[in-house]
Amino acid sequence: MQVATILLPSNVTQGIVYVHDFWSFTLTDVIIAVSAVVGIAFGIIIAITYQRRQTNTADRQYQLTALLEVFEMMNDKDMKFARETLYNTHEHSTYNRQFYRDAFDHLRSILDMIGLLYHRNAIPRDILLEMYWYVIIHCWICLEEYITDVRQQIPMFSQSFELLKDEALGWHSTNFPDHPLPT
């Protein structure tokens, strides 16, 4: 600390004023400043970590909710009937395909929507493929001719379903290479 003498007007007596030199910090001053900076940085890190954890939890919850919706749709009795009819129609060609066209188109649109959700990471990818890889491939094989016909007018028709089928084929070759593909 420095001592400075200040000359005051004549009606005031002289006094001594202690002036703190700006650049002369004591060890205590440095410790206080560093503690404040570390405390603020620590608080910011905790806030960011908490926010990320909350966001990840919400994302996982959203994905699981969407996956449960997919399970409900795929296990709906109308969807099961449409799949069974589609498989039988494809294998035996004894059923009137045109008669069931609405059910088949509904099945195709659901699988197209699931493909979109899959590629937007809105549903857990591994769980979906583990549960439905065979169904996806089988439905694609049965509907491929119809989709190809419609694509002559609408080139992007069922593109998400096709991408989902490609992922299911990859899942099959990675996890079940010895298991035969549906025909």
The answer to whether 123 and 72 have CB atoms below 8 angstroms apart is: no
pTM to 2 decimals?
Answer: 0.67
DSSP strand pairing (2-6 vs 15-19) = antiparallel
The answer to whether 70 and 88 have CB atoms below 8 angstroms apart is: no
- 57 and 141 in a single domain? The answer is no
Burial of 119 (0-12, 13-18, 19+ CB in 10 A): middle
- 115 and 164 in a single domain? The answer is yes
Q: Which of 10, 30, 61 corresponds to the end of one domain?
A: 61
CA–CA gap between residue 136 and residue 132 (Å, rounded): 6
pLDDT reported for residue 95: 47
Which residue ranges of the chain lie beneath pLDDT 70? Answer: 1-25, 91-98
pLDDT digits (tens, 9 = 90+) for 108-142: 999 999 999 999 988 988 899 999 999 999 999 98
Cross-strand partners of 3: 18
User: Pick from 34, 37, 30, 1: which is nearest to 18 by CA?
Assistant: 1
- 17 and 89 in a single domain? The answer is no
pLDDT reported for residue 24: 64
pLDDT reported for residue 15: 55
Classify residue 50: in a domain, yes or no: yes
Q: Which domain holds residue 56?
A: 1-61
pLDDT reported for residue 92: 61
Classify residue 67: in a domain, yes or no: no
Q: Which of 61, 93, 110 corresponds to the end of one domain?
A: 61
- 130 and 53 in a single domain? The answer is no
- The total of structural domains in the chain comes to 2
Q: State the distance between the two ends of the chain, measured CA to CA, in whole angstroms.
A: 92
Cross-strand partners of 15: 6
Classify residue 181: in a domain, yes or no: no
Classify residue 182: in a domain, yes or no: no
